[in-house]
Chain A
């Protein structure tokens, strides 16, 4: 669905002059417009890559988001390359140093370097968020395919179960799951993943229903293709795109949820760096050391902003 604007409308003529607006998805061109990079013939990888690069060049905000997320992925893969010191090393002599040349983001009450802790904390939070989204994606796919493919009472039962998960607000559901599983980053990731299942299950189910009514699906069934082959060759590949878009959009939310649970004290155990937990620890010093809450908070916000920006770009160009 696009938020396209009919430029012939008298209302929009007066209000919408600049279609390239940062901060929200720019109005995509009308389907017939030949300039849209997403619409170009996508024969071959090279053409698709060129189209993607063109999209990036046309949207500086998106380019920034991609670059920042690339940096964060690099932090996650090799934190010691970007922050040489140990995030747990204390230095009581340098405690609560304000941001400066020695300590870019300052130090905390134990003299630990905040920049190092943010790098490692980002790694923890992002990894947990990725685990959470993978779990939602996998479980949601299984539920959605079963529901949409089998139909009947299976569909009814599964969708009722999914509805139960929707009725409970996401954060409350994750908290309840954490109270059962116990505390810790992995359990927080699982809990956040579980609360993300309904969205994926519903999207997959809708896709499967759409595919079931297609000609190629009926052709495959009629020609005697076995069910697993139908699922793997016809259903899953065709259902994958909207699901991957949803996954991209969910990463931002998962980072928020993971850090919120850690902030409340159910995630990483104290010495280990995690962004939400760091904000929580910095709370005791908000009147004296603003940097302790500001930098980890900002780090969370930037990840979420970038992930959402990229997710929405995928949503615009990807789904057909």
Chain B
């Protein structure tokens, strides 16, 4: 086996490993009720994404993916978790109320969603360049993220769910094309996520002030 094929195989394996870890972290997040722990899980998941970007940049000689990796590290592993931590401390709510479905049921449903993700991604796996199941994991992250959003009632958890969905999309972007999207788009998406979380943060503070709670189940006035 020549070195090129060998390094490509290693890259593929590494990407696969980190992607699988992202999925595991997502499942832990679904079962988690402590908000601060959930924020840390999200930070870890973003770290895995950074690692994938680093591997891709190294093995495919795509220098602009390094920039993506650095941005992900600075933004999603350091800054956003810090911001969310601060919000959680400020609003003094540390534990999610009982979700609509309990942890066991949620985990089962998410496993079902994972199977669905693998089925959806199947027609594309032969065309994929990196790791055979990365796209399936990306789709699963998307689906479980949506599920998390519906299942939880605290505003902060919904924000976290949205962020994991975004992680899934970035994973898909890297996995499908093996060199990511054009730099301007990547950077744009990055700042977009930052601004979105800040806007959501402002809303969380205001909801907290007006409703004396961040339980989105209390937002029920508007109908029809």
Q: Do A and B come from one complex?
A: no
